[in-house]
Amino acid sequence: MDRLENTVRPYAWGSTTAIPRLLGVEPTGEPQAEMWMGAHPGAPSRTARGPLTELIDEAPEKELGAAAVAKFGPRLPFLLKILAAGAPLSLQVHPNLEQAREGYEDEERREIPVGAAHRNYKDANHKPELICALTEFDGLCGFRAPDEAAELLAGLDVDSLKPYVDLLHAHPEEAALREVLTALLSADRDEMADTVTEAATACARLGGSYEPYADIAHHYPGDPGVIAAMLLNHVQLQPGEALFLGAGVPHAYLNGLGVEIMANSDNVLRCGLTPKHVDVPELLRIVRFEASDPGVLRPEASPDGEEVYATPIDEFRLSRYVLPEGAAPHDLTLTTPQILLCTAGSVRAGEHPLTPGESVFVPAGEQAGVSGAGTLFRATVVA
């Protein structure tokens, strides 16, 4: 079992206080957006034996187990994060596995450098993800019903939005959502800026269900993504609740601290709320234009105290243990690789005492006894 030293990524949208508060350290004044735990080449966790990427490369079956290697190859198939949003992230969507492979092969064939600003596919993998709230957590997830989106836009009483309201009323669901999102993302940004500003002013005045969009507009003034965001469901998670984000579902995180797990991929297509590249034709190929319930997940408890966040994905499995004072030790030994992350209290994993924000990597088959009083998240795979 290896204690992990993890990199914190300073993305501009990150909270300046949430991760330091969790870790019990003084803020630096700079944004601290994500702490990465795993073997992603961009920021692999470090151990006393060396970087986790090197340990796995040198002995994949020893570290990951034969079943995981046979199913996913000689790599850790998930990335675990602590995510701290102090401002809205970009509105985005992820491809399914077939789309990712096609897109990656196409861009490789066209010799687009992986680091190019207009490159969409950094790898050939899909990127389903799960976010579990540690604090109250706000996000956008999936399309509203077109009539609901039309009612929200109409309530702003902005003349230049009325054509979008009419489109949402006039077509079947898929066509309505597709036409409106296409129109918003294809419009001239300078011409849209006045509409967005007028809509933002109305949101601030009306408050209530419009308040999240006023805040988004504050961070992204004039961005057409502000209007696109109003097509999506606004979700407020309580601590312990989660969202699963599958392929093709547009989403954005707005504010809060959570534990995030995802397939080990960098593939993101952006829909707005960003200065980065937006490839509208490719985006429209990937987005699933259907209204959906966000589907807030609550953990399913098992007799041994494990609370599992059930998803249809094999690359990751997230669960947690809420260990009361005086509880008997738990044996978490598995034949698959694990990362154990403490988020509250004080927990001992093997010989390693863990306080909030600290984590360990457990190789497949390694004895994994845990004890103490606190909350421990367990990330592994289904193999």
Pairwise CA distance, residues 85 & 258, whole Å:
9
Instruction: Name the catalytic one among 3, 75, 144, 270.
Output: 270
- Quick one: which of 256, 222, 310, 299 has its CA closest to 140? 256
For residues 324 and 77, give the distance between their C-alpha atoms in angstroms, rounded to a whole number: 31
Asked whether the beta carbons of 127 and 136 are under 8 A apart, the reply is no
Side chain identity at 211, as an amino acid letter? Answer: E
HSE value, Cβ hemisphere, 13 Å, CA-based, for 179: 15
| Selection from 163, 230, 233 nearest residue 200 by Cα | 230
Identify whether 270 is a catalytic site residue: yes
Task: Provide CB contacts within 8 A for 329, sequence distance 6+.
Answer: 369, 370, 371
Q: How far is CA 250 from CA 120, 207, 233, 287, in A?
A: 16, 24, 10, 7
Query: Look-up: residue for tokens 């790898």?
Result: 123
CA 273, CA 221: separation in Å to the nearest integer? 9
**What is the set of active-site residues?**
270
